[in-house]
Chain A
Amino acid sequence: MDPIRQNLPVLLDGLRLTIQYSIVAIILMVVIGLVAALMRLSAVAPLRWIATAYVEIFRSTPLLVQLFFIVLGLPAILPVNHWFGQLTYPILAAALTLSLNEGAYVTEIIRAGILGVDRGQKEAAQSIAMNGFQTMRYIVLPQAFKRMIPPLVNQAAQTIKDTSLLAPVGIAELVYKGEIVIAETFASFAIWGLIAALYFVLIFSLSKFSSYLERRLQVDKR
């Protein structure tokens, strides 16, 4: 019997879930990161404090511990399973925790990108009467975005790898399905090898896509 061929549908289903969690987390981490970065650069001190606390807390504790704490720990003191549903809560909580964790790193990437734009650009925008929002939206962020692409793609790759930490808290994805298959077939070497290969293909194509994107932006706009 060929354990790989026989169990391929199960593993591909795991891959589909991994891709879904990755897409959700990558979109959310950018949204969260943008908001938190703007808060960190805000003139309003309490906004800066909140954003800084968020970044430091999520960067200074392991993602796996954060997942255990929120997915499995929180239901012990709050009826969250009741509020959101026994099956829904772990999925929601895990996806959100992952997004918040990655978002803390994205915050720093976006903040550095914004600070990297020459101060004269902002002053020129102010001198033609743009307000803070217009200056960010039309002048600073478009210039910051280009230099943020490589580190953001890096972080996206990290996020894909980090979805594997959803398995230990009981969320079905590629690693989780792999463990089930191995428990039935004992084909440890072949299955883990295949899982590694699937992650590789996923992340390698992402990095290829990003170099393509960078080349395109280089040609279109400077």
Chain B
Amino acid sequence: MINVKDLHKSFGHNEILKGISTHVAEKEVVVIIGPSGSGKSTFLRCLNGLETATSGEIEIAGMTLTDPKTNIHLLRQHVGMVFQQFNLFKHLTILENVTIGPRKVKKIAPAEANRVARELLAKVGLVGKEASYPDELSGGQQQRVAIARSLAMGPNVMLFDEPTSALDPEMVGEVLQVMKTLAIEGMTMMVVTHEMGFAREVGHRVIFMDDGLIVEEGAPQALFSYPQRNRTKSFLAKIL
């Protein structure tokens, strides 16, 4: 589903990603951990073209992102992204937030788009909030709307960039629960998070990134219990 070969990304002379290679299978849930500034967000953002790779190859959802001939807008229909700050459209209602993509991008009729949006809002537990505006909702509710907004495009892959880091502790669970349900239904997911419980319970594989490189990866239990590299050990000692 995702194939990354020797991905490099620089901002000016500052090399942030220094050669990332990995493969994510269909229905796999991969959790990415690593210290702040290690390039986790940059890596995810390269996967849907929000950042342009400096070199290397990215195949995702059956398309080659790094091929200049690839239609990036078509590719993004298949790759959903959820942001740390939710980024809901402030001027639109909750229902409109979820329908605007299908309506304007996929040209789906309003009635059908509304029907799908209501289903998705029910799925993330937000029935009755359709007419509200984002700033009338709690952080946890907003993040669940953001997930529904992404799902409305019918993606094959979902990328989550620290989806619970901006939330009050009591709201973390409701968002993780939605993500867990998605994983169980077979969504291919890449999740940057420091929620170790989620990584253990839902993740199939954990990637530890540091300084623009994948330092170590493996099954959650193995990586958390028997880290091989010193950098992994010292990072885990700090957060576990």
Contact = CB atoms under 8 A, between A and B. Distances in A.
A32 B85 CA distance: 35
Contact of B83 (A120, A138, A139, A143): A120
Contacts of B88: 124
Interface string A134-147: 10001100110010
A127 interface: yes
A13 interface: no
A222 interface: yes
B73 A123 contact: no
A126 B76 contact: yes
Contacts of B133: 222
A129 interface: yes
Contact of B76 (A121, A127, A222): A127
A131 B75 CA distance: 12
B113 interface: no
A38 interface: no
Contacts of B105: 128-130, 134
Nearest to B50: A123
A86 to B, nearest CB: 50
A129 B81 contact: no
A222 to B, nearest CB: 5
Contacts of B77: 129
A216 interface: no
Interface in A100-148: 118, 120-121, 123-131, 134, 138-139, 142-143, 146
A139 B89 contact: yes
Contacts of B50: 123, 126-127
A123 B83 contact: yes
A216 to B, nearest CB: 15
Nearest to B146: A124
* A: interface residue count bin: 20 to 34
A129 B150 CA distance: 10
B135 interface: yes
B73 A138 contact: no
A208 interface: no
B205 interface: no
B90 interface: yes
A221 interface: yes
Contact of B87 (A124, A129, A138, A143): A124
Nearest to A146: B91
A158 B3 CA distance: 58
Contacts of A143: 90-91
Contacts of A131: 73
A128 B90 contact: no
A127 B155 CA distance: 11
- The residue among B76, B104, B153 with the most chain A CB atoms within 10 A of its own CB is B104
Nearest to A128: B101
B104 to A, nearest CB: 5
Contacts of B80: 127-128
B35 to A, nearest CB: 23
A174 to B, nearest CB: 39
B222 interface: no
B73 A120 contact: no
A146 B90 CA distance: 12
Contact of B81 (A127, A138, A222): A127
Interface in B112-145: 133, 135
B162 to A, nearest CB: 13
B74 interface: yes
A101 to B, nearest CB: 31
Contact of B48 (A127, A139, A142, A222): A127
Contact of B91 (A126, A128, A142): A142
8 contacts: A124-B89, A128-B80, A128-B100, A129-B77, A129-B101, A138-B100, A138-B104, A222-B133
Interface of B: 48-50, 73-74, 76-77, 80-81, 83, 85, 87-91, 100-101, 104-105, 133, 135, 146, 149-150, 152-153
Q: Lowest 5 A-B CB distances belong to which pairs?
A: A128-B101, A124-B87, A120-B87, A129-B76, A127-B81
